[in-house]
Structure 1
Amino acid sequence: MKAMILAAGRGERMRPLTDHTPKPLLPVAGKPLIQYHIENLARASVRELVINHAHLGEQIEAWLGDGAQFGVSIRYSPEAEALETGGGIYRALPLLGEAPFLVVNGDVWCDFDPSCLQLAGGDLAQLLMVANPDHHPGGDFHLQAGRLDDQGSPKLTFSGIGLYRPALFEGCRAGRFPLAPLLRNAMAQGRVAGAEHHGRWIDVGTPQRLQELERKLTG
């Protein structure tokens, strides 16, 4: 299985930290945030990685190189301007191949096991869900009996980690577009599964949450 790490975001809420450093390279407990993802994937024998980038992307390539130092192989999908999640994944599809692939948001930290996600039957996606954090109390999607929908309640929060079939993107066109409408359409067809993660997860979207993660990893 291949995996894609989304690393093209500008990180506006992290400014001024991201004015000169791309958010995935911000240090946490002595190493860049994105390195935790790479090491976690390598431990699970997911060794073929694709990383997209836009803002200061040359720094990401310079730091990570071809991935050999981490025991993985990294290919890059550069974007002249960030294409949002959907557009970024769609652009990278030729690098990801025809089999289901894992996608991880570069600005989250999570101790999940990649093997916990498994696509079944005609499902187009399986999303890893977490308890709603304080900054997102309403959640995103309803999980019941392993299935996700957009209408039920209570809702859990999408972790930013999911397993997808390339067919989810059929009919899309190159350019900037979000992922959520594609997922909601697939949910309406009953083709999206979900799994709840009960371990540690944090959306590292602000300097305050970056400091919180630093405390958790060093405390």
Structure 2
Amino acid sequence: MKAFIFAAGKGTRLKPFTYSHPKALAQVNGKTLLERNIHYLKSFGIKDFIINIHHFGEQIIDFLTENQNFGVNIQVSDERAELLETGGALLYALHMFENDEHLLIINADILTNLNIMELIDAHIKNDHYATMAISDRDSSRKLLFDENFQLNGWKNLSTGEIILGNKSENLSEYAFSGIHCIRTEFIKNFTHKGKFSIIEEYLNQMKSKNIHGFLHKAQLIDVGKPENIKVAETFFI
């Protein structure tokens, strides 16, 4: 299975570092987030990667070249002309994986010890359309799941905005971990075009498709803000 690493974001929460660098090259204990995630996925046997770039994208290209792609196959999806967000990025790069049945996706600024094979196995064995890694942790935005962990909505805790699917009762709130396994068919069925978040498509397709949550208790740190780098350094040596 190929892995898609989102590395194009501007990393506004990581200023001043991102005034002159891409957030994917921020370091935790001397190793960049991008390197850590490549090695993390490589440890589960994943050898084929797609990495999108935008903000200081040439630095990522140079970094990969200098390190000989860390011994894996990497295709770069170049968004330097326009940042397309997560959904737009996948649609733009579809030609790189359209013949693959499934795709693993992870945000470059997420560090975790999640057993990725357990996520993949749950996705494949249960024949899910999409499987989202979720956990019970603090977040201003939550995904809503029914008792069978099927996606049925989204809630913004800050504004009170709620989007519901087929059910409105007995729903549990979980935070999205920024890691998911999807059928390529999901992207081919996108109704949005251009620049958009993949969450918009999850909420658009949840009424008719088999989208499930994979609940985990693994260590997971969003290293998108400076204070979390210090936290990450206590867990990821």
Tell whether the structures are fold-level matches, with TM greater than 0.5. yes
- Counterpart residue identity of residue 181, structure 1: E
Which region of structure 1 is more displaced relative to structure 2, 113-122 or 29-38? 113-122
Post-superposition shift, 1:175?
1.6
Q: Distance in 2 between matches of 1:141 and 1:212?
A: 28
> Secondary structure of 1:51's partner?
strand
What's the TM-score once normalised by structure 2's chain length? 0.83
- Counterpart residue identity of residue 50, structure 1: I
Q: Structure 1 residues 171 and 103, CA, compared in 2 at 3 Å: closer, same or farther?
A: closer
Contact 2:191 2:201 survives alignment (8 Å) = no
CA deviation string 1:122-153 (max 9, x = no partner): 632110112222xx155223253342221453
Q: Distance in 2 between matches of 1:54 and 1:138?
A: 25
Which region of structure 1 is more displaced relative to structure 2, 118-127 or 178-187? 118-127
- Counterpart residue identity of residue 162, structure 1: H
Give the alignment partner of residue 142 of structure 2, picking from 139, 143, 150.
139
What's the TM-score once normalised by structure 1's chain length? 0.90
Post-superposition shift, 1:180?
0.9
CA deviation string 1:135-182 (max 9, x = no partner): x15522325334222145331111010011122122546521111121
Give the alignment partner of residue 101 of structure 1, picking from 103, 116, 134.
103
* Matched ranges for 1:16-95 at <5 A: 16-65=16-65, 68=68, 70-79=70-79, 80-95=81-96
Gaps of 5+ in 1: none
Q: Distance in 2 between matches of 1:64 and 1:141?
A: 38
Give the alignment partner of residue 119 of structure 1, picking from 120, 124, 127.
124
> Secondary structure of 1:139's partner?
strand
CA deviation string 1:34-93 (max 9, x = no partner): 111101111111100000010001111111129745221111001022100000011111
Q: Structure 1 residues 111 and 202, CA, compared in 2 at 3 Å: closer, same or farther?
A: same
CA deviation string 1:93-137 (max 9, x = no partner): 11123311000011111111221222356632110112222xx15
Does residue 1:153 correspond to 2:171, yes or no? Answer: yes
Gaps of 5+ in 2: 154-163, 165-169
Q: Distance in 2 between matches of 1:207 and 1:168?
A: 34
Which region of structure 1 is more displaced relative to structure 2, 144-153 or 21-30? 144-153
How many percent of aligned residue pairs carry the same amino acid?
31
Contact 1:66 1:73 survives alignment (8 Å) = no
> Secondary structure of 1:144's partner?
coil
Q: Structure 1 residues 67 and 101, CA, compared in 2 at 3 Å: closer, same or farther?
A: farther
Q: Which residue number in structure 2 is paired with residue 128 of structure 1?
A: 133
Post-superposition shift, 1:209?
1.2
* Matched ranges for 1:185-200 at <5 A: 185-200=204-219
- Counterpart residue identity of residue 221, structure 2: I
Q: Distance in 1 between matches of 2:66 and 2:105?
A: 19
Q: Distance in 1 between matches of 2:77 and 2:142?
A: 30
CA RMSD of aligned residues (A): 2.0
Post-superposition shift, 1:193?
1.5
- How many corresponding residue pairs? 216
Q: Distance in 1 between matches of 2:171 and 2:64?
A: 41
Post-superposition shift, 1:198?
1.0
Q: Structure 1 residues 3 and 138, CA, compared in 2 at 3 Å: closer, same or farther?
A: closer
